A and B are shown apart, each in its own frame.
Chain A
Amino acid sequence: MNIEVNDIDGTQVVSIDGKIDSNSAPLLDAQLNELLSQSQANILTDFELTTFISSAGLRVLLSAAKKAKSQGGELTVCSMNPTVSEIFAISGFATILRVFSNREEALAG
């Protein structure tokens, strides 16, 4: 799994290429925590290249989202493929995180 971070108009866009499973989730966790410790609390996780996400990955997102909120920011999500969307729906994450179809909408909203 590869992670790329771009600052676009103050939002940290975190693109994740590959699968977020129990092996790779710690990497994502480290990356998100680094951003949050730098007070970068507006984070967009872009799942366009993400194949799937396991519960380990979901826990990482949840933890980061809570921290972002407590810092006055927000963690949002975009570009999920059908499998990732389904996982979000089953786990109820689609109701606690704001989800967008693509990056443009996410940055505008």
Chain B
Amino acid sequence: MGAKPVILAVDDTPENLDVVKGLLVPDYQVRVAPNGQIGLKIAQAQHPDLILLDVMMPGIDGYEVCRQLKANPETATIPVIFLTAKTEVADEAAGFQLGASDYIAKPINPVLLKARVETHLKLKQNMDSLEQLSAQLAAAKEKMEDELSVGQKIQLSMLPAVAPQHDNFRVAATMRAARQVGGDLYDYFFINPRHFCICVADISDKGVPASLFMAVTKTLLRANTLDDSSTASIVTRINDQLARDNEASMFATIFIAIVDLETGVTRYTNGGHNRPFIRRASGEVESIPDLHGPVAGAMDGIAYGESELCLSTGDTVLLYTDGVSEAMTARDELFGEAAIGEFLERSGGIQPSALVTGLIEAVDKFADGFEQSDDITLLAFTFDRAPEQVVRELQLSLTNNLTEIDRLNDSFNELAESADIPIDIQMKVNLVFDELINNVISYGLSKDTEQSIQVGIALYGNRLVIEIEDGGIPFNPFMRADPNTEASLDEREIGGLGIHLVKELMDEVSYKRAHDKNRVTLVKQLYQA
């Protein structure tokens, strides 16, 4: 308020008006009115900052003036202070009910008058500032919502639109943003005709800055994969580039895998991201366990590692962000990572697109209407190699005699040498045969009669698949609990070691009971990290 505040005094006694003028001038500008009518007119015309109002006046009294002032939006917010000789509580109450701000008794105490005028003027000032700020806030919010939609557009434009068609794989992905623009990213693309890259990332922030960071990350991803098929090296470079010039200290969890479409060998690097799942063609579901470094963009100079796994026909890899595992119900229950794995198990060999759609439906059903708080991203990749050629094959029928194990191993070793299978893998298979055939003969088959054990060995381009079948009593050798390999010498127990070794030395082990036969299937990958 640059100019002095304007006070309007309304009183039918001229002497009172003089007193008020005398007290308030020169700190304030004072206008006077001898009755209610004129007072109202001046109020409407001048919009004073405060009104001192006598109650007892001829014509319309102070209460009526107040009523009319408050009824008119133009004058309703002007503070009104009643001046009156009437000091009964009932009268004061009536005045406050009408909207008056205060009451001053006559004869007027000068100190009191000045103090009250000052207080109420200040109060009014504060109210006015508050309203102004409120209006500014509303305008800013509207502007922000416009920006959010821009951010969403940026985010969506970063995602690949159409899934490539290829003989060797099928891929599907989706990103459903939360109400606020988040920072999830997925990408898939060919590095060269033989190598396909899949990637999922989750930016630490939300809003427009996150979507810009995401755009940068995606650009870096594409740029760094031009001439590099080592995911460790790619993520190391992306991390360095993101960490520089990163004043907002944003970062991204990231998972990248590069699949060799001919062999199924897949290199991957996990930088602080949720462990993806892999569903093998056999139906088994497991986590892809390795972590290779922290989130990307936080600190430069970090050397990321990588691991390798091998995909076979029908294997599906599922990448996701924590919007899925941390999807919540109204009762704070989380969907959870285990639930994702279970969904994968139940889903059979369905197409990646159906898998992705189905899982989102499951999450929505779980959340049951509770608002999505984080971006939900899913990427499913199924390796689909053309029917594989068997390189070598061997079928043997053994009798339930322990000496048959040597015969099996000799036949296998012959096959292995002719196919150049590394000697250490040969020995591991020998050991596994020793353990498992022993088990079958000792526990599964009756010792009195002669029974046969069928062993099938198939060598494919990148792995060995072994099946051992017997007609003995239902017996699953993998049911036993693993031994405690960390126990001390005194505590170690004798049992369970053989099967533990088999599980660790082979890449996949499974048991099935069908047609009155026990069947154990083992897979050993020939290419290892």
Contacts and interface: CB of A to CB of B under 8 A. Distances in A.
Interface of A: 19, 21-23, 51-56, 58-59, 62-63, 65-66, 69, 82-83, 86-87, 90-92, 95-97
B430 interface: yes
Contact of A55 (B435, B485, B487, B492): B435
B405 interface: yes
Contacts of A69: 489-490
Given A58-B497, A83-B424, A96 B434 contact: no
B521 interface: no
B431 interface: yes
B486 A95 contact: yes
B428 A59 contact: no
A90 B501 contact: yes
Interface in B481-527: 483-490, 492, 494, 497-498, 500-501, 504-505
B405 A23 contact: yes
Contacts of B405: 21-23
Nearest to A23: B402
A97 B489 CA distance: 8
A59 B500 CA distance: 13
Interface residues of B, number: 28
Given A52-B430, A91-B485, 5 more contacts: A19-B430, A21-B405, A62-B494, A90-B501, A92-B485
Contacts of A90: 485, 500-501, 504-505
A66 B485 contact: no
B486 A92 contact: yes
A22 B434 contact: yes
A69 B428 CA distance: 30
Nearest to A69: B489
Nearest to A55: B498
A51 B430 CA distance: 11
Given A21-B405, A23-B405, A23-B406, A96 B488 contact: yes
Main secondary structure of the interface of B (DSSP, over half): helix
Contacts of A86: 424, 505
A58 B434 CA distance: 13
B167 to A, nearest CB: 37
B402 A52 contact: no
A54 B494 contact: no
B438 interface: yes
Contacts, number: 77
B501 A22 contact: no
B389 to A, nearest CB: 29
What 5 pairs between A and B have smallest CB-CB spacing? Answer: A92-B485, A55-B498, A55-B497, A90-B504, A96-B489
A55 B501 contact: yes
13 contacts: A22-B405, A22-B434, A22-B435, A23-B402, A52-B430, A53-B431, A58-B497, A69-B489, A87-B431, A90-B485, A91-B485, A92-B492, A97-B489
Contact of A91 (B406, B427, B489, B501): B501
A56 B505 CA distance: 16
Contacts of A63: 494
A23 B403 contact: yes
A54 B492 contact: no
B424 A22 contact: no
Interface in B322-379: none
A92 B428 contact: no
Nearest to A75: B489
A54 B498 contact: yes
A46 to B, nearest CB: 19
A83 B497 CA distance: 16
A58 B485 CA distance: 12
Nearest to B503: A90
B490 to A, nearest CB: 7
B12 to A, nearest CB: 105
B498 to A, nearest CB: 3
A99 to B, nearest CB: 13
A60 to B, nearest CB: 10
Given A83-B428, A90-B485, A92-B486, A22 B402 contact: yes
Contacts of B402: 22-23
Interface in B262-301: none
Counting chain B CB atoms within 10 Å of each CB, the highest count among A23, A54, A82, A92 belongs to: A54
Interface in B466-489: 483-489
B490 A21 contact: no
A62 to B, nearest CB: 6
